[in-house]
Amino acid sequence: MTEIKKLWHFRQNNSGGKYTGPAYNIVVEGDTIEEAWQEAEKLGATNDGSCPCCGDRWNDANEIKSRDYIIYLDMAIEDRTYTSGNLPLVLGCPEWRRIEFRVSMDFDNFSK
């Protein structure tokens, strides 16, 4: 029998004034935050090249514990002001666990 792992959310900080790949948000499984970060790195997340004044591009993860967990998108992402292209909003989460959180943006005419 396989234990179900915890689910973790890494939100990208637009270090240096821009976002890079592989995605704006990474959601991965891991028994610990360290294991989750290893999974995120496999997907391409890195803190190399983060701006010293803005801090690490990928900060600590939050554990996703229920459907009440909401991943908020901000306007800069939606209008791609600070992006280097067309990045996925959320990457890494196994399809069957996508019901464990919601993706939301609090602006008129926008709901996901």
Which positions lie near Zn ion, rule CB under 5 A?
Answer: 51, 53-54
Least gap, CB of 59 to Zn ion (angstroms): 14
Q: Which residues pair with 83 in a beta bridge?
A: 19
* 51 vs 103 by CB, closer to Zn ion: 51
Token pair listed for 83: 């992006």
* 53 vs 99 by CB, closer to Zn ion: 53
Question: 53 burial class (0-12, 13-18, 19+ CB within 10 angstroms)?
Answer: exposed
Least gap, CB of 51 to Zn ion (angstroms): 3
Residues 21, 79: Cα–Cα separation, whole Å? 16
* 16 vs 21 by CB, closer to Zn ion: 16
